[in-house]
Structure 1
Amino acid sequence: MHAHVVLFDGFDPLDAIAPYEVLQAAGLATGGAVSAELVTAEGAREVPSGTPPLTLRATGLLDPARADVVIVPGAAGTLPSEDGEEREDSIPAILARTLGTGLPGLLKEALEREDTLVATVCGGSAILAMAGLIVGRPATTHHQGMELLSAGGARPVAARVVDDGDLVTGAGVTSGLDLALYLLEREVGPRVAHAVETLFAHERRGVVWSDRGPAPAF
C-alpha cells in the first residue's frame, strides 16, 4: 500500500506528519509492503506550513494513478474573527486558496478511481467540500469546521473517523494518528495496526462511524 500525503502552502504539520509516521512504521512492520511519500499538486518543492518557520520538502507529484491512498491534511492558521472579517492567515482562507491550484482536479481524479482511497485529516475534508467533490457524502472535520462541510454539501458527522468506503475522514488535528491506524487495520490488517499502535504508545480513541446497520430511533 503506497500513500501520497499531500502538502500545500499553509498545511498543518501534525495533520501530515502523524499519518506519515504511522505509515512509515507500518513499512518497517511489513517489510516494505506499506510506504508513504510527501507530495504536492506541483511536484517536488519546499512547502511552508501554517506554523512558520516550519517547512517540509515534498519529494514528488501527487499522482492518483501511483497512490493506493491519498491523504489530505488541513491548514494551520488563525481562527475566523468574531466580526466575520476573514484574514489572509485564517484557516478558511488558507483552505480556500488551494482551490486555485491543481489540487482539486487531482483529488477529483483520485475519488473517481476505483482503486484509490482518499483520506483526510481535520480541514482536509473541507477542501473536498469547498471544491464540491463530496456533495451528499458523510464526513467529519474539526468541530469548528463543520459549517464548511455543510456549505459544501457534505453531511457532517460528529465522529473521530468516518468511513464512507473510498472516502475516510478524520476529525481534529490529533485524529491523524487514529485515522492512519484505522486505515492500516482496514487495508493491511489488525495485527500490523496493533503493532504500530503499540510502538507509538498510542491508544486509539473515539468512534469510527460508517453508514451501516439500522438507523437509531433517537
Structure 2
Amino acid sequence: MTLNVGILVFPQVQQLDLTGPYEVFASAPDTRVHLVWKDVAPVVSATGLPLVPTATFETCPPLDVLCVPGGAGVNALMEDEAVLRFLRERAGQARYVTSVCTGALVLGAAGLLAGKRATTHWNALDFLPRFGAEPVEARIVQDGTLITAGGVTSGIDFGLAVVAALLGRQEAETIQLMLEYAPEPPFRAGTPREAPPEIVAQARTRFAGSRAAREAIVARLGPF
C-alpha cells in the first residue's frame, strides 16, 4: 500500500528543512511525497530556491505523515487561519504529525502541541511552553503520534526515524546507506553548547529581527 507524505511548502520556507526529509521519504519504496500549499504556483525559499507545490489543501490526498518545516516564513503561517485549519483537519487523520525546526511553532499555533513533549530549533525552544508544550533539547522527540525535530539538518535524522517507524529499521538503514549519510562536520559548532560564545552571539544577532517579529506574533496569539 502506498504511503502518502505531505510536506507543507510556503514562501520563505527553510529549504533544507524540507529537502532533507523529502530526500529520505522519496527514497522509500511505495511512498509518494506531496508538497502542499494553497495553490500550485512556485514559491521561493528563504535562501532563494524556487519550489513548486504538487498539491493544494483541497487536492491533497489522505496523509500518513503530515510535516511542517520551518524558516522565516513560519511567522506569517502562525496567523494564517487557512493553514492552521488545514493542519487541524489533517492532524486527526494522519498516522504521524511532524515538524522540522521552527515548523513546530506552526503546529503550536494550530493547537497541536498542548500537553506534548516537543523540540525545535535552539533559538526557538523557549517559545514551546507558550503553546502548552514541554520543551526538550534533543535532535528528535516523539510523543505518541507527534514527532518533532530540532534545527534544519535534523530533518534528515528525523526522516530516517519516521521511515523506521513506518517501514522498519532495515529500510531506514538502507536509505541511510544509499544517501551515504555519515556526517562528520569540520567544526564542533552545531549547537550553542559546542560553539564558542562569540559564534553564538553572532548567530543570535542574525536571528534577532525574525525572533522579535515572532515574539510579537506569539504574544498576540495568547495562551494555549
TM-score category (smaller protein): 0.7 to 0.9
Identity within the alignment, %: 32
> Aligned pair 1:130/2:96, yes or no?
no
Counterpart-to-counterpart distance in 2, 1:146 and 1:123: 9
Contact 2:118 2:133 in 1 (8 A): yes
Task: Give TM-score scaled by structure 1 length.
Answer: 0.77
Counterpart-to-counterpart distance in 2, 1:24 and 1:133: 26
Counterpart-to-counterpart distance in 1, 2:145 and 2:39: 24
Q: Give the structure 2 partner of residue 151 of structure 1.
A: 130
Counterpart-to-counterpart distance in 1, 2:57 and 2:97: 12
Structure 2 stretches of 5 or more lacking a match?
A: 185-224
> Aligned pair 1:56/2:51, yes or no?
yes
Let me know the Cα RMSD of the aligned residues. Answer: 1.8
Aligned-pair distance for 1:169?
0.4
Deviations 1:92-123 (A, max 9, x none): xx32311225111111112222x431111000
Aligned-pair distance for 1:198?
0.3
Task: Give TM-score scaled by structure 2 length.
Answer: 0.75
Structure 1 stretches of 5 or more lacking a match?
A: 76-90, 206-218
* Count of matched residue pairs: 180
Counterpart-to-counterpart distance in 1, 2:15 and 2:81: 20
1:31-110 to 2 correspondences below 5 Å: 33-40=30-37, 42-52=38-48, 54-62=49-57, 66-75=62-71, 91=72, 94-98=73-77, 99-110=79-90
Which letter maps to 1:24?
A
Counterpart-to-counterpart distance in 1, 2:55 and 2:176: 28
SS of structure 2 residue aligned to 1:71 = strand
Aligned-pair distance for 1:191?
1.2
SS of structure 2 residue aligned to 1:9 = coil
Q: Give the structure 1 partner of residue 91 of structure 2.
A: 111
Contact 2:66 2:98 in 1 (8 A): yes
Which letter maps to 1:8?
F
